[in-house]
Structure 1
Amino acid sequence: MKSISWTIVGMLLCGFSLEAQTNKKMDSLQVAYEASTDITERVELLRDMFNMQLYMEPGEAKNIALKILDISQKENYANGIALGNYGLGNYHLITNTPDSANYFLKKSAEISLKNNFGNTLANSISGQASIKGDRGDYMGAIKLNDSLLPLYQKLGNYLNYGIALGNTARFYNNMGQYDRAMEGYIAALAVLDTIDEEPFRRADIQRDIGKLNYFQGNYEKSIEYFRQALAIYEETSDNLYQSYVLNDLGNAYVEMEDLDKGLEAYQKSRRISEEFNYLDNTANVLANVGMVYRQKGDLDQALEYQFNALKINRTNNSSDNVVSVLGEIGKTYMEKNDIPTALRYLNESIALADSIKTGYYLLNGLNYRAKAYEKNGQFEKALEDQKKYQALNDSLFNTEKSKQIENLNTYYETEQKEAEIALQQEEINTLNEKAKVDRLTKGLYAGGMFSFIAVSGLLFFGFRQRMKKNRIAREKQEEIYRQEIAHKKKELASQTLHLVQKNTFIQELKENLENIKSSPEKFKTEFRRIVMLLRKENASDKDWEVFKTYFAEVHNDFDQKLKTLYPDISEKEIRLAAFLRMNLTTKEIAATLNVLPDSILKSKYRLKKKLDLDKDTDLITFLNTL
C-alpha cells in the first residue's frame, strides 16, 4: 500500500513540477517583454510565449497573437504583422474553425512573400495544406506540402522538414495508401529523432502510426503507439493532444471489447478537455461514453452522457456533431422501446442532416429510423426509409469510389511524370558519363587501345544495367497501378450486383405489401409469403457466393487454403474467417449474419479451437498470414 501511495505522490509532484517550470518560464518571458523597448525583441518574446501556450491554453495563445499584431501594426513592423496573422491562423486551426484559419494564413503568406520572410511563408503554406487535407483534397495538400521540402532544406529548418514529411504521410494515410504513409512516417521520425526541439512532434507521428494501425484493425499495435505518444504529451504538458490521444485509446479498447479500459481512457480525456475548455473533444468523449454505456445495457446512463454532449454541440454550433448525437439519442430510445421519443429525435437528426447536406450522418439517421418504424409495426414507412437509405448509400458509394479512382489516376499520372523526369535525368547522366569517357579516351590513347576499350566497355555495361534497372522498376510500379485499378473495378462490380439483388428483393416485398393494402382479406396469405420471402433472403447464399468469389481473387484463394489446411472446416466457419480477415468487428459481423454478437464470440472461440491455435496465438493475426 505504501508503494502505491508514494507512486501517486511522485506523479503529482512531477505534474506540479512541469506546470511550475512552465509558469516560471512564462513569468520570465513576461518580465523581459515588459522591460524591452525594441519591437523585434518584443515580438520574439511574444512568439515564444505563444508557442508555449498554444496547446496548453489556446485562448491565452490567441490573446498573445492579437498582441503581436497590435504592437506590430502600431510600429509598421512587417515581420510581426506576418507572425501575428500566422499565430491567429494556427489558433483557428487547432480550434477547428478552418475558414478563419485559412483567412489569417493567406494573409500571413502574402506579407511573408512580399517581404521574403522564408520561415513564416513556409509555415503559412503548411497550414493551408492541412486545411486542404481536412477538406478531402489530399493530392492538392500533398503537392502544396511537398513544395515546402526544398524551401525548408534551403533554410536549414530540419524540424519543419520532418514535420512536412509527416504531414505528407498523413495525407497518404487518409487516401488509403498505407504503405506510402508508413514510409513517410518512418522518414519523418528518422529526421525528428535527431532534433531535441519540440519533442511533441515525434508524438504526433507516433499517434498517426497508431491511428493507421487502428483503421487497419491492428488494435493492440495501435494502443502501443498511442501510449508512446501519450508519454511525450504528458512530459511536455501538451494538454490538448493528451485529451485527443486518450480518446483514441478509448476507441481502440472499445473495438477490442474491453469496455472498462475504454471508459477509463475516455474519462481521463474528458477531465482534461473540461479543465481546459476543449469543447469539441469534451462533446466527442461524452458521446463515446454514452455509446459504451448503451453497449453495456445501461440506457439511462447512456442518455445522460448523450444529452450532455448534445448541449455542448448546440452551444458550440457544431452542426455535424449535433446531427450525430441526435441520431444516437434516437437509437438509445429505440432500444428502450420508447419509439415515439426515438422518432422525435431521429426526425430532428434527419431534417438537420438534410439541411446541411451531411450525407453519412443522414445515412445513419435513415437506417435507425427504418428500424424504429419496423419495431413499431409501421412497415410502409420502414420500407420508404429503407429505399431512401439504399438510394443515398448508392450515391455516396459512387461518389466515394469516383473520388478514390480520381485520386488513384492523379497519383498514377504524377508517378509517370516522376518516372519520365528520372529517365531524362538518367539520359543526361549517361551523356555526361559519355563525355567523361571521351575525355578519358584522349588520355588513354597514348597508353594503348586495349585500356580504352576495357574502360569504355565497363562504363557502357554499367549504363545499360542502370537503364535496365530503372525500366524494370518503372514497369513493376505500372503493374501495381494496373492491379489497384482492376481491384477497384471488381469491388464496384460486386457492389452493383449486390445492389441489383437487394432491389429485386425490395420490389417483391413492396408488391406483397401493396396486395395487402388493396385486398385486406388476403392478409394471412400475403403475410405468410412475406415471412417466407424474408427467410429466403436471410438464408440465401447468393451474396456470400459473390462475395467469396471476389474475396478469393483479392486474398489469394483464402477459402481453398483453409480447406487444404483444415479439411473438416465448414462453410459457415470459412465465412466467419473471411469476415475476420477483413477486420470486421464482432458487432458488424453479427449485423451481417443477422445474429447476436454473443453468438459470434462463441463462433470465434470454436473457430480458434478448430484451427488448433494455442491460447497465446491471436486468431485474426493468424488469418492475416494465410
Structure 2
Amino acid sequence: MIKQIYFIFVVACLLLSSTVLNAQTDQMAVVRSLIQKHPDSALILLKKMHVQATERDDAATAGLCLQQMGQICYNQGHYAKALEFYLHADKIFATQQNKDLSAANMSEMGVFYYYNKQLDKSRIQYNKALAIYKQTHNKKGQAEIFGNIGHLYEKQHRYDSAFYYQHLALANYTAANYKQGAAKIYENMGSIYEDLAQYDSAYVNFNRSLLLYNEDHNQIASIEVINNLGDVLRKTGKYEASIIQTRKAYNLANQTGNTYQLAASTRDMGKAYELMNRMDSAYYYAELSRKYSLDVYSKDGVEQTAFLQVLYDIDKKSSEITRLNNSRKINNIIAIAGISVVILVIILGIVIFSRQRLKIKDQKALAREKEAQHELVQLELKNRALEDERLKQQLETKDRELSTHTLNLISNNQLLEHLRGTLQAMVKEDKRDQKKQMQQIILQINESFNHEQHWKEFTTAFEQVHQSFFDSIKKYSSELTSADIRLIALLRMNLPSTDIATLLGISTDSLRVSRYRLRKKLNMEQGENLTAFIQAL
C-alpha cells in the first residue's frame, strides 16, 4: 500500500513538473511572438515569469527571463537597463554553472557592446562564450559566435578575416543542420560582397540565404534578403528586375505589417524609378517611403512611451517588492531570532540543570572515591606497619643471631686461646716424648682461628642485619683485603678491642697495627676516630 501511494505521489510530481515546463514553454513562445510587435507587453509577461521563477527557485528560467528583458531593452534603445538585465542574468547563470545559457548570455552582451561601438569589450565577451561552447561541443553556439566575430572584422574593414569567420560559422551551422543560422551567414557574406562591389557574389549569397529562409518558412527574415537582391540588381543596372524583387519585399512587408520594411522597400523602388528616369513613380514611392518612415517614427514614439511606462512600473514594482521582501526578511529575522533566543534559553536551562545533576553526581562519586582511597590508605598503612613490625622482629632476630654467633666465636676462640697457651707451656717442658704431639695440637688450634666457614656464616648473618654495608665501605677504598673487611665488620658491631683480637686470632698490638693500616686505606685524617667513622656509615 505504501509503495502504491509513493508511486502515485511520484507520478503526480512528474505530471505537475511536466505541466509547469509546458506552461513555461508556451509562455516563452508567446513572449517571442510579442517581442517584435508589442515589446511592452512582452516585457510585462517576462517580468511576471521572472517573479514566478524566483518564487519557485527556478534559477534557469529566471536567468532566461532577464536575458530576454535585456534584449527587449536593447532593441528599444534603453542600453543602461539592457546591460543591467544582461549582467544580472550572467550572475545567475554563473551561479547555476549552466554553461550553455551563460555562453548565450555572453554572446548577447557581445552584440550589445558591438552596436555601442565598444568593439574590445565585444570581442572579450565573444571569446568567453566561444571557449564555453567549445567545452560543451555546441556547434550551433560556436557558429553564432564565429558569425558575430566576422561582423567585428567587417566593421573594421578587415574583410579577409570577416570572410574567414563567416565561413567557420557556416561550417558549424551546416554541421548542426540549422538552416536559419546558415541563411543568416549567407546574408552576411552577401552584404560583405556588396560592400566590396562584388555584386555577382553578393547576389549568389543573397539568393542562397533566401532559399534557406523559404525552406524554414521565415517570411520576416526573407523580406530583407529580397530587398537586398533588389539593391544588387539596381546597382548592376537591372532596374526592371530590381523593381520586381523590391515589390515582392513590399508585398510581404504589407502582409506581415512590417512598417520598417515597407519604408525600406518603397525607398528602394523610388531609387530604381529615379534611375529609370520615371520621376512620377520615383516621387510617388519616395513620398510613400517618407510616410511609412513617419509612421515608423510615430509608432516608435508611442511604443517608447508605453515601454518607458512599463519600465517605470516595473522599477516601481521591483522597488516595492524589494521593500516588502526586506520587510519580510526583517520580520523573519526577528521571528527567527526570538525563536532562537527561546530555544537557547531552554537549551541553557537544560544544560545548567544537566550540569548541576552531573556536578552532584560527580561530587558523590568523588566522595565515594575519596572514602575508598582513605580506606585503602588506612589499609596500606596498617599493612606497612605490620610489615615494619615483621621486619623489625626479623632484624632483631638476625641481630640476636649475629650476637650469638659472635659470642660463640669469641667463646670458642677464648677456649682455643687458653688451650694454645697451656700447650705452649707444656712444650717448653723437657718431656721429649709429648713434644711432637703437642705441636700438632697447636697447629690445629691455629688453623681453627682462621676457619673460613665460620667467617662466611658470620658475613651472611652480618649482611642480613647491615644490608649493603660492604658495598658502601668499598666505595672509600679499592685496596681493602678480606682481613680488613672482617675488622671493619667487627668494629661496626662496636666490640671491645680484646674481643676483636680474639676473633681475628691476633694480639692487641697486632690489632693496633691493623687499625692503623685500615685508617690509611680509608684516607682518614689524623685524630679522626675509626670506630665512629665506621659506625656512621
TM-score normalized by structure 1? 0.47
Aligned mates of 2:48, 2:142 — CA distance in 1: 31
SS of the counterpart of 1:217? Answer: coil
Residue by residue, what CA displacement relative to the aligned partner does 1:472-510 show, whole Å, maximum 9, x if unpaired?
xxxxxxxxxxxxxxxxxxxxxxxxxxxxxxxxxxxxxxx
- 1:335-346 pair list within 5 angstroms: 335-346=235-246
Q: What are the within-5 Å matches in structure 2 for residues 518-529 of structure 1?
A: none
The reply to whether residue 308 of structure 1 matches residue 215 of structure 2 is no
Structure 1, gaps ≥5 residues long: 1-37, 42-75, 84-107, 113-119, 433-626
The equivalences for 1:256-335 within 5 A come to 256-335=156-235
Provide the C-alpha distance between the structure 1 equivalents of 2:240 and 2:39, rounded to a whole number of angstroms.
43
Shift in Å, 1:311: 1.9
CA distance in 1, matches of 2:328, 2:319: 14
Gapped regions of structure 2 (runs ≥ 5): 333-537
TM-score by structure 2 length? 0.54
> In the alignment, is residue 171 of structure 1 matched against residue 72 of structure 2?
yes
Q: 1:82 to 1:296 in 2, by over 3 A?
A: farther
Q: Is the radius of gyration larger for structure 1 or structure 2?
A: 2
> What's the CA shift for 1:422?
7.1
SS of the aligned residue for 1:257 comes to: coil
Distance in 2, matches of 1:150 and 1:424, equals: 14
Instruction: Give 2:154's match in structure 1, choosing from 251, 254, 266.
Output: 254
CA drift at 1:250: 2.1
| Match of residue 28 from structure 2 | 127
SS in 2 for 1:193: helix
Q: Please say if 1:238 is aligned against 2:138.
A: yes
Query: For residues 479-498 of structure 1, what are the structure 2 equivalents within 5 Å?
Result: none
Question: Which residue of the partner structure matches residue 180 of structure 1?
Answer: 81
Structure 1 pair 334–202 and aligned structure 2 pair: CA distance change class (3 A): same
Whether the 8 Å CA contact 2:40–2:303 is kept in 1: the answer is no
Contact 1:289–1:305 under 8 Å retained in 2: yes
- Tell me the amino acid that sits aligned with residue 290 of structure 1: G
Measured in 2, the distance between the counterparts of 1:401 and 1:235 equals 44
Moved more, 396-405 or 423-432: 423-432
Cα deviation digits, residues 408-442 of structure 1 (max 9, x gap): 1232244445556778999999999xxxxxxxxxx
1:371 and 2:371 matched: no
| C-alpha contact (below 8 Å) 1:250/1:264 kept by paired residues | yes
| C-alpha distance in structure 2 between counterparts of 1:321 and 1:399, whole Å | 21
Cα deviation code 1:156-181 (max 9, x no counterpart): 44444444443433333333222222
Structure 1 stretch 242-251 or stretch 149-158: which is displaced more?
149-158
Alignment of 1:227 with 2:119, yes or no, is no
Question: 5 Å matches for 1:186-585?
Answer: 186-196=87-97, 198-416=98-316
Whole-angstrom CA distance in 2 between matches of 1:353 and 1:429: 52
**Aligned equivalents of 1:135 and 1:267: distance in 2?**
29
- By how many angstroms is 1:278 displaced? 1.0
Residue 137 of structure 2 aligns to a residue whose secondary structure is: coil
Matched residue, 1:145: 46
Contact 2:46–2:69 (CA under 8 A) maintained in structure 1: yes
Count of residue pairs brought into register by the alignment = 327
| Residues 538-561 of structure 1, C-alpha deviations (whole Å, 9 max, x = no match) | xxxxxxxxxxxxxxxxxxxxxxxx
Q: How far did 1:221 drift?
A: 2.3
Q: Distance in 2 between matches of 1:409 and 1:389?
A: 30
Tell me the residue number matched to 1:95. none
Q: 1:164 to 1:365 in 2, by over 3 A?
A: closer
CA distance in 2 between counterparts of 1:77 and 1:123 reads 20
2:76, 2:118 → 1: CA distance?
Answer: 18
Report what 1:13 is aligned to: none
**Shift in CA distance, 132/344, structure 1 to aligned 2, threshold 3 Å:** closer
Q: Which amino acid aligns with 1:216?
A: N
Cα distance change of structure 1 residues 295 and 356 upon mapping to structure 2, 3 Å threshold: same
CA RMSD after TM alignment: 3.6
Cα distance, 1:244–1:398 mapped onto 2, change above 3 Å: same
In 1, distance between residues paired with 2:167 and 2:130?
A: 15
Give the direction of change, closer, same or farther, for the CA distance of 1:294–1:169 in structure 2 (3 Å limit): closer
Q: Deviations over 1:448-472 (max 9, x none)?
A: xxxxxxxxxxxxxxxxxxxxxxxxx
Partner of 1:563: none
CA deviations over 1:561-599 (Å, ceiling 9, x no partner): xxxxxxxxxxxxxxxxxxxxxxxxxxxxxxxxxxxxxxx
- Distance, in Å, in 1 between the alignment partners of 2:131 and 2:82 is 23
Residues 85-140 of structure 1: CA deviation (Å, up to 9, x unaligned): xxxxxxxxxxxxxxxxxxxxxxx6xx44xxxxxxx377447625642653444444
Partners of 1:430 and 1:291 lie apart in 2 by: 58
Q: Give the structure, 1 or 2, with the largest relative contact order (CA under 8 Å, sep 6 or more).
A: 2
Work out the percentage of aligned pairs sharing the same amino acid.
17
